[in-house]
Amino acid sequence: MTKLTINKYAAKKIVQGIAVLDARDFPGNTYSEGFAELYFDHQLLSQAYFSRQNKGIGWAVKSIDFIQLLTDAKNKRQSYAQDTATTAYRVFNQDGDGFGGMSIDIYEDYALFSWYNAFIYTLKNEILTAFQIVFPEILGAYEKVRFESKLPISSHIYGKMAPEKFIILENGVKYQVFLNDGLMTGIFLDQHEVRGTLLEHLAAGKDILNLFSYTAAFSVAAAMGGAKSTTSVDLAKRSRELSEAHFKVNGLALDAHKFHIMDVFEYAKYAARKKLSFDLIVIDPPSFARNKKMTFSVAKDYHQLIADALPILNRHGKIIASTNHARLSRADFLDELKKGFGTQKFDVIETFDLAADFANNLSDPECDYLKVFVLEVK
**CATH 3.90.50.10 fits domain 188-377:** no
Architecture category of domain 2-61 in CATH: Roll (2.30)
Q: Which of 271, 259, 272, 206 is nearest to 232 (CA)?
A: 259
Strands (E), 195-274: 207-211, 229-234, 257-261
Q: Are 63 and 30 in contact (CB under 8 A)?
A: no
Count of Cβ atoms closer than 10 Å to residue 69 Cβ: 20
Alpha-carbon distance 224 to 279, whole Å? 16
**CATH topology for the 66-166 domain:** Transcription Regulator spoIIAA (3.30.750)
Alpha-carbon distance 68 to 206, whole Å? 47
Q: Are 200 and 225 in contact (CB under 8 A)?
A: yes
| pLDDT tens digits for range 77-87 | 999 999 999 99
Alpha-carbon distance 26 to 20, whole Å? 12
Mean pLDDT by 10 residues, the chain (378 residues): 91 95 84 94 96 93 97 98 97 97 98 98 98 98 97 98 98 97 96 97 98 97 98 94 96 96 94 97 92 85 97 97 95 97 97 95 92 97
Using DSSP, state whether 272 is helix, strand or coil. Answer: helix
pTM above 0.85, yes or no: yes
| pLDDT tens digits for range 220-256 | 999 999 999 999 999 999 999 999 999 999 999 999 9
Alpha-carbon distance 186 to 170, whole Å? 13
Alpha-carbon distance 348 to 375, whole Å? 5
Res 132: pLDDT: 98
Alpha-carbon distance 319 to 376, whole Å? 7
**Domain residue extents for the chain:** 2-61, 66-166, 188-377
What's the chain's average pLDDT? 96
Alpha-carbon distance 149 to 353, whole Å? 32
